[in-house]
């Protein structure tokens, strides 16, 4: 669910989309209680041994979370250097569904508990995630008191695991290729998970450096495609990478000196490929942010750096200096003039919104106030009570010097305030009104008042899971601009969809500027109603006995939607139902239906079987199907009677006519009913066929022969120029039912064929 925030920015109204309504399990104000029970008295030795042997096995125990009991839970240590056999308080990875499938607490089946080492203040990790969530998908985090066999071990930070629910919430899917930058063996002098192409030309060459978490066929090839384009064809990089998300990650790391990340040893991040084909970097492991980690920056300070050097770390050091091992995700992006200015704009936003004032320090003190009693009662914390109080402001000396957060960030803000690219940006005001009234398919003129820019752009999309497209804004009285050089930049967006997300970006020779400032994570949105007849129920199959199978090989009911309009239509917020008293029975998947395009829905109530499956079934004895908006406005409906297993039930003419029985034309134009039935003048043999089918027709050439699967996908299409018998090679096709269609001057006739070995 998209949350729209309305606020006043530069005198105009704006709306943003950021996150989803979620469980309050990670609410910072609530300290959780997690009690672990092991039968084994030597549980600590067992966990030490599993960790020391680098095993992924877990010790089974029972866990009570805030009073709720979960039996047979799998538990192990986690982390690279934060766990040790010499410590009582070790970081924990708790898998609630280790034995019992689907066992979870408030929807979460895995808990990640950090032992707050390397942070006398106790706020670094939780505060860092809170700041990160303003600009990118990032985990929620709070605190938990952990007991083992009723003995208090201490106060832990409790960080949301980047798993299926996280991906669904932030990307609208969880079934894409998913990797963690997590080398099997961290090489302190090596490349690790740096996304360079140094390891080889095969996907398998990268197995030791990344953890594949999605278990998908072909996932590794998608990762290698990203690596190849990043290193050899960066002009095409935006096809496979959410570049803006990568720039935000770098800006976050360099603002707060979070170098136990892609910056330092090139690890501690995830990559998830969304439905638009782009990989999205996801930040992870922030327990050593605010300069607590100073082992390396993989550049000028490759052998380590001091607190003073942390305060003055160059945010473009991997561009202007050297990289001890390649950092292509920084260097390649920073070499692009526009991407570099966008990165600096993001860095400016983070510093301006959090650190140029005392806001971060106020919040850090608030968090310390919440956990103060529990920190003081922690019997195994790594630092003293005095260290807890003083480290917000000043350095605490232990194994290393842990810089005071205020001391670091005040000086960091001073240093960055004069850094080239942090000042001199254009201003963007008086942008297009999000309350603009428009109709589907109209041309919309987007405008913004921009000063001190040499170029400016509109970024827009019609679906929240899509990538943004770019259109140049101009001030030269063309493409929607009324007056040249008046500071009002404009462009026309033709065939406007019912939903439009957008933001503006302008730049000059010095710096860049976004509107809204947190774009592209936040953006403006406008929408209009879908009028009756624009999107219709076009065809349905309610008695599918022998023709159409879904991706699981199952014969299921079908509903085809057709976009009658001249604009793409977002199905976000649309519902389909077989019950007029409950219009919201089945929400449509979040998809974009192009102008004149079709979408096929499996009406089988099997939502876990795939994206296009919806939560209704059709009654072959007849019923009514209704398509409506989330406001309860009915867009289209159809009533049908008893169905048979020979014909589908569809509109003729396509998209506009009345419903009638016809030979199924799922996902392409409905044919005239009298022309949809099988023709004796059109013979195919043998039946069933193997490698070749022969087609003999009494129709005069020329004509077109098309072979499709039962989903309507065209697999073979050939133009026939002579009247001879045609042989069609089908040896590359799998077993199953297919449709051969003959097309001549708008006339079509079709037959089913069966292929089998």
Is residue 721's pLDDT more than 70?
A: yes
Place 56 in a pLDDT band, splitting at 50, 70 and 90: confident
Once rounded to an integer, what is the mean pLDDT over residues 418-426? 97
Q: Are 595 and 564 in contact (CB under 8 A)?
A: no
Q: Give, as one character, the DSSP assignment of residue 749.
A: E
Answer whether residue 471 shows pLDDT above 70.
yes
Q: In what order do the strands lie in the sheet with 747-755?
A: 714-720, 703-709, 736-744, 747-755
Q: Residue range 522-551: average pLDDT?
A: 89
For 668-697, write each residue's pLDDT tens digit.
Answer: 888 776 444 444 467 777 767 778 888 878
Please state, for a pLDDT cut of 90, what percent of the chain lies above it: 76
**Least confident piece of the model among 272-286, 394-408, 477-491, 623-637:** 477-491
Query: CA end-to-end span of the chain, whole Å?
Result: 47
Q: Helix (H, G, I), strand (E, B), or coil: what is residue 312?
A: coil
The mean pLDDT value for 393-411 works out to 95
Whole-number pLDDT of residue 457: 98
DSSP for 376-424, please give it: HT-TT-SS-HHHHHHTTTS-EESSSEE--HHHHHHHHHHHHHTSTTSS-
Q: Tell me if 505 sits within 8 A of 459, measured CB to CB.
A: yes
| All residues at 6 or more sequence positions from 496 whose CB lies less than 8 Å from its CB, including other chains | 438, 440, 441, 442, 443, 444, 528, 567
DSSP E strands in 641-746: the ranges are: 648-652, 658-662, 682-685, 692-697, 703-709, 714-720, 726-729, 736-744
Q: What's the chain's average pLDDT?
A: 91
Region 252-275: mean pLDDT is: 97
**Spatial CB neighbours of 735, under 8 Å, sequence gap ≥ 6:** 755, 756, 757
Average pLDDT over residues 291-302: 96
Q: Is the pLDDT of residue 415 over 90?
A: yes
pLDDT in tens, 552-579: 888 889 999 999 999 999 999 999 999 8
Q: What pLDDT score was predicted for residue 514?
A: 98
431 and 504 in contact (C-beta within 8 Å)? yes
Lowest-confidence range among 214-223, 338-347, 540-549, 586-595? 540-549
pLDDT, position 55:
67
Q: Which of 58-67, 401-410, 681-690 has the lowest mean pLDDT?
A: 681-690
pLDDT category of residue 21 using cuts at 50, 70 and 90: very low
Among 75-89, 116-130, 568-582, 627-641, the least confident range: 75-89
Q: Is residue 702 within 8 Å of 740, Cβ to Cβ?
A: no
Q: Is the pLDDT of residue 262 over 90?
A: yes
How many helices (DSSP H) and strands (DSSP E) are in the chain? 13, 42
At residue 391, does pLDDT exceed 90?
Answer: yes
Site of tokens 């398919």: 441
Q: How confident is the model at residue 18 (pLDDT cuts 50, 70, 90)?
A: very low
How high is the pLDDT of residue 747?
A: 78
pLDDT at 2 over 60: no
CA nearest 426: which of 516, 507, 338?
507
Q: Provide the pLDDT for residue 546.
A: 65
- Max distance between CA atoms of the chain, in angstroms, equals 95
How far CA 586 is from CA of 583, 617, 634, 639, in Å, comes to 8, 10, 14, 18
What are the strands, taking DSSP E only, across 30-161? 31-37, 59-65, 68-77, 92-95, 110-114, 141-148, 151-160
Domains, the chain, with CATH or none: 175-353 (no CATH), 427-527 (2.60.40.10), 535-674 (2.60.40), 678-755 (2.60.40.3080)
Q: Who has greater pLDDT, 711 or 116?
A: 116
Give me the pLDDT at residue 54, please. Answer: 66
Q: Is the pTM of this model over 0.75?
A: yes
> Residue range 466-476: average pLDDT?
96
């Amino acid at each position: 669910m998209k949350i729209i925030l309305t606020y006043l920015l530069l005198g105009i109204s704006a709306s943003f989309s950021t996150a989803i309504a979620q469980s309050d399990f990670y609410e910072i104000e609530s300290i959780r209680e997690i009690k672990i029970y092991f039968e084994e008295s030597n549980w600590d030795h067992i966990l030490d041994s599993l960790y020391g042997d680098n095993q992924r096995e877990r010790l089974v125990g029972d866990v009570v979370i805030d009073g709720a009991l979960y039996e047979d839970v799998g538990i192990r240590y986690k982390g690279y250097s934060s766990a040790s056999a010499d410590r009582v308080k070790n970081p924990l990875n708790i898998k609630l569904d280790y034995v019992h499938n689907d066992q979870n607490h408030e929807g979460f089946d895995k808990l990640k508990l950090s032992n707050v080492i390397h942070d006398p203040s106790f706020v670094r990790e939780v505060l860092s995630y809170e700041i990160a969530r303003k600009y990118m998908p990032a985990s929620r985090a709070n605190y938990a008191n952990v007991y083992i066999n009723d003995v208090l071990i201490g106060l832990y930070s409790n960080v949301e695991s980047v798993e299926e629910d996280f991906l669904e919430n932030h990307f609208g899917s969880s079934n894409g290729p998913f990797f963690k930058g997590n080398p099997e063996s961290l090489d302190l002098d090596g490349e690790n998970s740096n996304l360079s192409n140094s390891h080889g030309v095969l996907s398998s060459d990268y197995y030791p450096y990344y953890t594949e978490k999605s278990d998908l066929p072909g996932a590794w090839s998608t990762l290698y495609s990203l690596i190849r384009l990043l290193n050899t064809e960066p002009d095409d990089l935006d096809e496979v990478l959410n570049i803006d998300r990568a720039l935000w990650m770098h800006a976050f790391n360099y603002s707060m000196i979070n170098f136990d990340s892609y910056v330092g040893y090139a690890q501690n991040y995830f990559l998830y490929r969304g439905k638009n084909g782009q990989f999205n970097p996801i930040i992870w492991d922030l327990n050593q942010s605010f300069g607590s980690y100073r082992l390396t920056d993989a550049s000028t300070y490759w052998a380590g750096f001091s607190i003073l050097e942390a305060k003055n770390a160059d945010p473009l050091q991997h561009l202007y200096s050297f990289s001890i091992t390649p950092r292509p995700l920084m260097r390649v992006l920073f070499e692009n003039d526009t991407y570099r200015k966008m990165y600096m704009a993001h860095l400016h936003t983070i510093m301006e919104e959090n650190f140029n004032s005392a806001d971060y320090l106020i919040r850090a003190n608030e968090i310390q106030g919440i956990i103060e009693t529990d920190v003081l009662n922690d019997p195994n914390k790594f630092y003293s009570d005095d260290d807890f109080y003083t480290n917000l402001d000043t350095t605490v000396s232990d194994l290393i010097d842990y810089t005071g957060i205020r001391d670091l960030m005040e000086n960091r803000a001073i240093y960055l305030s004069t850094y080239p690219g942090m000042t001199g940006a254009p201003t963007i005001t008086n942008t297009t009104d999000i309350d603009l009234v428009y109709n589907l398919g109209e041309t919309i003129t987007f405008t913004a008042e921009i000063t001190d820019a040499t170029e400016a752009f509109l970024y827009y999309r019609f679906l929240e899971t899509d990538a943004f497209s770019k259109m140049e804004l101009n001030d030269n009285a063309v493409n929607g601009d009324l007056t040249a050089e008046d500071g009002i930049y404009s462009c026309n967006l033709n065939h406007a969809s019912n939903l439009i997300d957008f933001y503006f970006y302008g730049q000059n020779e010095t710096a860049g500027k976004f509107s809204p400032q947190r774009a592209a994570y936040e953006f403006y949105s406008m929408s209009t109603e879908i009028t009756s007849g624009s999107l219709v129920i076009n065809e349905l199959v309610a008695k599918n006995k022998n023709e159409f199978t879904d991706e699981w090989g199952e014969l299921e009911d079908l509903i085809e939607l057709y976009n009658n309009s001249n604009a793409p239509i977002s199905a976000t917020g649309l519902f389909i139902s077989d019950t007029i008293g409950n219009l919201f029975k089945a929400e449509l998947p979040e998809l974009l239906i192009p102008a004149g395009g079709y979408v096929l829905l499996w009406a089988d109530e099997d939502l876990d079987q795939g994206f296009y499956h919806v939560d209704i079934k059709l009654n072959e004895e007849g019923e009514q199907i209704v398509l409506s908006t989330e406001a309860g406005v009915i867009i289209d409906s159809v009533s049908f009677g008893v169905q048979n297993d020979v014909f589908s039930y569809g509109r003729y003419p396509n998209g506009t006519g009345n419903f009638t029985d016809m030979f199924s034309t799922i996902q392409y134009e409905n044919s005239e009913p009298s022309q949809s039935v099988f023709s004796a003048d059109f013979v195919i043999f043998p039946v069933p066929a193997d490698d070749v089918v022969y087609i003999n027709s009494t129709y005069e050439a020329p004509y077109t022969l098309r072979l499709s699967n039962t989903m309507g996908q065209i697999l073979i299409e050939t133009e026939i120029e002579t009247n001879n018998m045609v042989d069609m090679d089908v040896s590359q096709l799998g077993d199953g039912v297919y449709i051969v269609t003959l097309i001549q001057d708008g006339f079509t006739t079709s037959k089913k064929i069966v292929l089998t070995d």
